[in-house]
Structures are given as C-alpha cells and as structure tokens.
Amino acid sequence: MGSQAIQSHLWGQRSKDWATIQEATGKAGYEYVLHFLQPKLSEKFLDIGCGSGLFANLAAKSGAEILGFDATAQLIEEAKLRNPSIKFLTGEMEALPFDDNTFDIVSGFNSFQYAANVKAALAEAKRVLKENGKLVVMIWGNKEDCEAASYLKAVRSLLPPPPPGAGGPFALTEKNLLENILEEIGLKIIDNKDVESTWDYPDTETALKGLLSAGPAVKAIEHAGYEKVHETILAAVQPYIQSNGYVVYKNKFRIVISEK
C-alpha cells in the first residue's frame, strides 16, 4: 500500500481551511523556486502533492504546462476552483501514472515526507523526469529555526505512539537524509537553500483553523477528540500572539533542487 489511502483521508477533512489559510504558508518557497528555475513556455511541469493548487497556479503564470497531482480528491476540487485551466489528477506518488522521461521539472512541496516509502516516491519522481530535468523538494528546515516546531510538538503529544522507524515532519531534514537519498538514487544536487517563511495569521481563530487543517492535526483530532486538540493547540499558540492580535511564526523551509 502506498501513501494515498492514509493521506487522502486525513488531508481531505478540512480542505477548505487548508486552501484558504494554511497552504499560503509555503509561498516564500514557491516564489524562490520559480525565480530559480525560470520555467519556460515549452516546459512540462509536474507538482506532486499539489494540495489545493496554489503553487500550480503561480507556476502556470510563467507559461509552463503544469500538471497538479495529489492523493486527496477534496484538495484537487479546491485546486480546480482556484484555476480551472490547469489539469489536476489524484493518485499515488509511489506509482505515478506517467511514462518515463515525461517532465522537464517535477516538484514536491512538503509532500514527499508523507510517502509510505520516501525513497520509492523520489525514485518515481526521477523516473518521470527527462534527462537533465530538475527535481524540486521542499521540506522543513532545522527544528531550531522553526517556531512552528512547538505547534508540531503539541500535535505529536496527542497522537498514538508511532511505529518503530516512522518518520516525523523533520525526518528528512535531520542528518541530511533527503540529500543522501537524492544522491543515492542518482540525482545531482544543484541548489540547497533554507528560505525564511513567516506564517502570519490575522487572529487566533484564523490561526487555529489553518493549523488544525493539516493532516497530522486531523489525525490527532481522530485520536484525542476535537476539544482536546483545540485546547492544546490554543495553548501552544499563545507565545506567538502579537500585541495587535496577529499570530506569527517565523520558520525556515529547506529547498533542495537536483538534476537527472
């Protein structure tokens, strides 16, 4: 079994809040990638784990032919509302339904860490890349550089014990695991950058809606109940409430770009 059966269930439950609030927290990374790659009109671009299509929408403005791919049908429906002219598909990232050497660029923004088998998912991404094609992977930066790590820790405290060897949000960051896997499967790293990402919510209610829309938080709600999760995350948010009522987390995302 791949990642779709588990992840589609979790990420589909609060897809509207994810689309309208939380997905934008990755925008600094999206903009960095588009500036670095400068996609061309003739290039074919696949975004794996496209969510509700914010990055795909930004990339489409470059003129590249982008296709969005995600495990979760509800997020794909939100993506289609955002930009009906883009093609979006649901499926398994460990078994992509595309021929070898199809795409000039493949991206995955905070998506590959949710694969049931990360190495298999990255190998699939490499398979569908053309020779000299680029693979973009965005993950969390170092834990000490991410204030939202406190929110993730609060969520983790409400989850059942993970099975031995299970990865967490920072699993691909620690010990350069992502870079090691990319090189192991035969890709050449051409850029490795930590990008600052400020999560800026106008009020506590909006922050909670966004934070509770992510798959791990939904899993915590299923395990511990909504009231307990809401109470715990509300407490975790308190240190980040500003004098004007905004909730602000300063984080870093790591972007690793490799070439086939």
**Using one digit for the tens of pLDDT, what is the confidence trace for 96-108?**
999 999 999 999 9
pLDDT at 5: 67
Q: What is the pLDDT of residues 159-195, one digit of tens each?
A: 887 665 556 788 899 889 999 999 999 999 999 999 9
Q: What is the pLDDT of residues 218-238, one digit of tens each?
A: 889 999 999 999 999 999 999
Q: Residues 13, 226: contact at Cβ < 8 Å?
A: no
Tokens 């939202």 locate to 148
**Share in percent of the chain as helix, strand, coil (round to 5):** 45, 25, 30
State in words which class domain 4-149+162-199+250-259 has: alpha beta
User: What pTM was computed for the model?
Assistant: 0.93
- In this predicted structure, the answer to whether residue 7 has a pLDDT above a threshold of 90 is no
Q: What is the mean pLDDT of the chain?
A: 93
DSSP three-state, residue 105: strand
Q: Please report, for the chain, the start and end positions of each structural domain, with discontinuous segments joined by +.
A: 4-149+162-199+250-259
Whole-Å CA distances, 199 to 41, 154, 251: 32, 17, 8
Torsion angle (degrees, nearest 10) of CA 115, 120, 126, 128? -80
